[in-house]
């Protein structure tokens, strides 16, 4: 089921960054609304507990409405350092992480990550790379994005190793921005980290 949900999300992600017309956005909304996998991902079943986060402004949000997309590499020393931390944090807060590998391999935290794919064989870059790094962010690992699973809007969460308290604070500010419909391009840059492996 999780594989189908991830595949469904990945089929919709490339539409987010396309510089095309309203028809594609309308198609994305239609696909999102009608996709049983996406509905199942966000729908609470009886007996399921909410995973709530209290934001600095006092609002509470269900963390099941958000996911993290993580780009990592098996041969990245910084992914090896960061991946166990983000996995433990995400598991604690019941946040789904979708890991992608840029070198084809996994690590102990994410032994079977997804591999970015090209829907157009002539494209020089895989779809997920264009979707997430297309805003000019350097392609490097580890890099994580927060994604609203209902709207599929993505926000840069961290690039490089980040301490978990700083990550939580960044996540809370991104969720507030998401709730307030702030354009991700207008947000302040992520805290800088030199602990990255560039591509």
Structure tokens at 164: 């978990």
86-117 pLDDT, tens digit per residue, is 999 999 989 999 999 999 999 999 999 999 99
What's the pLDDT at 102? Answer: 94
Q: Are 84 and 78 in contact (CB under 8 A)?
A: no
Stronger pLDDT, 30 or 131, i.e. the higher one? 131
162 near 82, Cβ under 8 Å? yes
First to last CA, the chain: 32
pLDDT tens sequence across 133-188: 887 889 999 999 999 999 999 999 999 999 999 999 899 999 999 999 988 778 87
Domains of the chain in start order, with CATH, are 47-198 (3.40.30.10)
pLDDT at residue 98 in the model: 96
**How far is residue 186's CA from residue 35's CA, in Å, rounded to a whole number?**
30
Pairing, β 154-159 against β 143-148: antiparallel
Q: What is the pLDDT of residue 34?
A: 42
Query: Are the beta carbons of 146 and 66 closer than 8 angstroms?
Result: yes
pLDDT at 49: 61
Query: What is the tens place of the pLDDT at every residue in 13-36?
Result: 443 433 333 444 344 444 433 433
Strand order in the sheet with 143-148: 96-101, 66-72, 143-148, 154-159
- Tell me, what's the pLDDT at 116? 93
Residue 50's pLDDT band (boundaries 50, 70, 90)?
A: confident
Checking if the pLDDT of 44 tops 50, the result is no
DSSP per-residue codes, 64-83:
GGEEEEEEE-TT-HHHHHHH
**What is this structure's pTM?**
0.73
pLDDT at position 39 over 50: no
């Amino acid at each position: 089921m999780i594989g189908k949900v991830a595949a469904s999300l990945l089929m919709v992600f490339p539409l987010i960054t396309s510089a095309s017309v309203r028809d594609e956005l309308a198609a994305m909304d239609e696909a999102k609304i009608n996709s049983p996998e996406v509905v199942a991902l966000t729908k609470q079943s009886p007996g399921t507990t909410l995973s709530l986060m209290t934001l600095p402004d006092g609002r509470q949000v269900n963390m099941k409405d958000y996911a993290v997309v993580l780009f990592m590499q098996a041969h990245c020393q910084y992914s090896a350092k960061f991946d166990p931390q983000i996995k433990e944090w995400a598991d604690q807060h019941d946040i789904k992480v979708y890991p992608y590998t840029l070198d084809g391999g996994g690590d102990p935290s994410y032994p079977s990550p997804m591999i970015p794919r090209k829907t157009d064989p002539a494209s020089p870059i895989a779809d997920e790379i264009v979707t997430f790094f297309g805003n000019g962010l350097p392609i490097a690992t580890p890099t994580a994005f927060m994604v609203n699973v209902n709207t599929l809007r993505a926000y840069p969460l961290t690039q490089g190793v980040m301490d978990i308290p700083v990550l939580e604070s960044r996540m809370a500010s991104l969720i507030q921005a998401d709730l307030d419909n702030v354009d991700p391009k207008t947000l302040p840059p992520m805290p800088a980290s030199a602990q990255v492996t560039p591509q």
